[in-house]
Amino acid sequence: MSDKTLLPPNATRQERAIDQTTARIGSLSVPIKDLWNPATCPTALLPWLAWALSVDAWDANWSEARQRRAIAASVPVHKRKGTVGAVKRALAAIDYNIQLVEWHQESEPGTPYTFRADVVLEDRGLSDTTQQEILRLIESTKNARSHLSALRMIGSSQGHAYVAGWEQSFDSVSVQPLLITQAEVPPSPYYLGATVSAYDTTTLEPL
């Protein structure tokens, strides 16, 4: 039993054992800030942190990085719930790229207060589980007035394409000995010309 105790002198043996055990709790290092931080919380405690921060969608099969992103986005999403930005942020946290098109943004306006969701699924398959996960997130973050009219899931895959080209050009020249088999001398041209000269003679005599 510790020196400082609130137990009465007639405390039982079990009570004294509990008192002695709990007396050391204050000396234990409990990093509270780390436990409440999605980036530093121990992996085994992530589900409890997600529950404490009211994460709307959670899957134990997600990767650790994806779970931490979902927890980190929970508070900002709850601050903006009911807005388009909240829906996009919630889905982006678990690697979904979504585009929301409201009824007045359609080429032909549809039913008022409805919207369509286009979700790009990059490098993942289309399954009923994926669809239900997206629907659950949209319903939990959209405003109560708007209703989802259509959900389009678009598969997208990224890769690398390599293009190469090769060009070659050359000339073939054959050099052979000079062989004269026939000579032809062209006729010489004739040139005609004419000139005219005229002059005067002047004599100077003294007076």
pLDDT 10s digits, 34-91:
899 999 999 999 999 999 998 988 888 888 998 999 999 999 888 888 888 888 888 8
First to last CA, the chain: 169
pTM of the full predicted structure?
A: 0.52
Closest CA to 34 of 1, 68, 73: 68
Closest CA to 98 of 128, 51, 133: 133
Closest CA to 120 of 83, 92, 149: 92
Task: Look up residue 81 and give its DSSP letter.
Answer: T
Closest CA to 54 of 78, 23, 35: 78
Mean of pLDDT values over 85-108: 84
In angstroms, the CA 105 to CA 115 distance is 9
